[in-house]
Amino acid sequence: MNVHGEMILILDFGSQTTQLIARRIREQKVYCEIHPFSIPLGRIREMNPAGIVLSGGPCSVYDSGAPHSDPELLNLDIPILGICYGAQLMILQRGGQVEKAEKREFGKAELELLDTEGLFAGLEAGAARHQVWMSHGDRVEVVPEGFEATAVSAHSPYAALRHRQEPLVAVQFHPEVAHTLIGTDVLRNFIFGFCGCKPDWTMHSFIETTVAAVREKVGDRKVICALSGGVDSSVTAAMVHRAVGDQLTCIYVNNGLMRSGESESILKFFREKSKLNVIDVDATDFFLSDLDGVADPEEKRKRIGLGFIRIFEEEAAKIGDVSFLAQGTLYPDVIESVSFRGEAPIKSHHNVGGLPEVMRLDLIEPLRELFKDEVRELGLELGLPAEAIHRQPFPGPGLGIRIMGEITRERLTILRQADVIVLDEMKKHGWYRKVWQSFAVLLPIQTVGVMGDGRTYEHVIAIRCVDSRDAMTADWSRIPYDILGIISTRIINEVRGVNRVVYDISSKPPATIEWE
């Protein structure tokens, strides 16, 4: 049951921009959740959403095996907005016809509004043209009884529709993407006009509801928190500490895969600048021994995740009578680790996909519903210092997933030295806070080079810098060439065993931010 008051439910049909719908709705200070299209009607009734959004998707509605939600969803008397595939599915399930279009629409298109009511309230109609973003090869050809067009485009006679009596609306374009210039207006009209929501979901209200929920769940029992020093675990610790105080013990585990000097600086920070009770465990030998000879990225992630759980349970036994483990799982972790349409997950996150089926500790994940930028906002609301909040994300498995192939102490040393140079130069030139993440990756290949008139055959370092808001999508950062040149020169000159540096210019999707 949702504890955050009124909400919008988003049903995911496999679109790459489903998460953007959630971000745009939350920007309006309205809570929303993403669930698979196959969620049972009974569960939807329990959730009691103020409105429902049907996302886009890669399939055609008439394809064999195409994802179809329960047609009775449309009869729940709940406002429903269909987007692209979701719009076509709504029309099909109400008896209309959807067919392959003679001329497909991909990219920018001009929308002509037929009226300025409902979704288009407050916008100019008539001769005015509004830029929207289309991405479809099918189109609505015959509308069901009760529906009418509210907008057209050059190749879509039903670019937007509404039902005359029921709270059903549909758009062929994607209001969630930035290229749709009226997207925010459309979503606001649906959220506030159709659904009657109030903009009262804030980080302050989130703290109140979440602290109360954690306090009720924990009671007088003890909690341990997996503290990595990153933003997610730091905010988790602060949130749980506010809820249960001294019942919380934080455990920092050095898995041997941290960056140079990081363990020492993290422990110093929390012991000097927080009221948290922190104990530290050096498990370097345990993790490196367990990872010896392991090259598969999924296997590495899962072994690291299981290793953390084993150590946390051992430490909990020492503390005595511990019932809960708190960790900083975020919404993108959950989304990427869960299959919505039966395909394989993108990757297992160490604190989601790597958990054993049976744990002796119950989980507390107070940030499970939040995106990264929301976590940063939450941390500031909790009073954490900016230096802790504005750190770049660092993966739970650490450098283990930035070393392609087998992990050895020698390869860790090479990567640590290169990583120090990347971060040093990014900070020195004022780019550290401009990008989402910047880091080095050690590739599993060697290349020929020349140093001092002699032939070399040594390792390759890849530099990865990306821009993002919530890690669900990302674009490669346009770092000035002179900065990249300095980083490359320093790595080749200062890191023994490296003779080549490359820059990763792939975006997410299709790539992921981390290489493994």
Residues marked active site are found at 84, 174, 176
Cα distances (angstroms) measured from residue 170 to each of 27, 133, 152, 155, 392 = 21, 15, 12, 16, 39
Q: Is 273 helix (H, G, I), strand (E, B) or coil?
A: helix
* Contact call for residues 311 and 281 (beta carbons, < 8 A): yes
In the numeric block, the tokens 């959403």 are attached to: 49
Q: Which two tokens stand for residue 481?
A: 């060439």
* Contact call for residues 132 and 105 (beta carbons, < 8 A): no
Q: Is 296 helix (H, G, I), strand (E, B) or coil?
A: coil
The type of residue at 187 is L
Q: Is 333 helix (H, G, I), strand (E, B) or coil?
A: helix
In three-state form (DSSP H/G/I as H, E/B as E, the rest C), the secondary structure along 45-58 is HHHCCCEEEECCCC
Among the listed residues 94, 191, 101, 99, the one whose alpha carbon sits nearest the alpha carbon of residue 147: 94
d(Cα 394, Cα 438) in Å, to the nearest integer? 10
* Contact call for residues 456 and 500 (beta carbons, < 8 A): no
d(Cα 348, Cα 140) in Å, to the nearest integer? 38
In the numeric block, the tokens 């529906």 are attached to: 147
284-290: list long-range contacts, CB under 8 Å, 24+ apart: 284/254, 284/255, 284/256, 285/256, 286/311, 287/255, 287/256, 287/257, 287/400, 288/256, 288/407, 288/409
* Contact call for residues 132 and 153 (beta carbons, < 8 A): yes
Residues in Cβ contact with 105 at an 8 Å cutoff, skipping those fewer than 6 apart: 134, 135, 136, 153, 154, 155, 156, 172
In the numeric block, the tokens 């055959």 are attached to: 457
Q: How many CB atoms lie within 10 A of CB 40?
A: 9
d(Cα 454, Cα 465) in Å, to the nearest integer? 32
